[in-house]
Structure 1
């Protein structure tokens, strides 16, 4: 992870979006054999979209 500062932000997500993010989280956990927070998954997906 980079040296970016972290801030707590509250957002409202649709159930469908949450399900898709949870699936991505589960896949990441299986692939890496380690933990992956929901916040981390959201941040990574946002970074991909903003490139």
Structure 2
């Protein structure tokens, strides 16, 4: 059985960085550790799994 309660080592925790001037639509999931560059538009209902460069 998985032990995925708060404080568990199974939960990956890394900061998410969002640049200036971004628009993040509704119902967007940004995975742990991802950096979104400046002036990026993320469409609604998107899943962001990798870093996104500026513009």
TM-score by length of 2: 0.28
- Higher strand fraction (1 or 2): 2
Q: Give the structure with the higher percent helix.
A: 1
Greater Cα radius of gyration, structure 1 or 2 = 2
- Higher RCO, 1 vs 2 (CA within 8 Å, ≥6 residues apart): 2
Report the TM-score when normalising by structure 1.
0.29
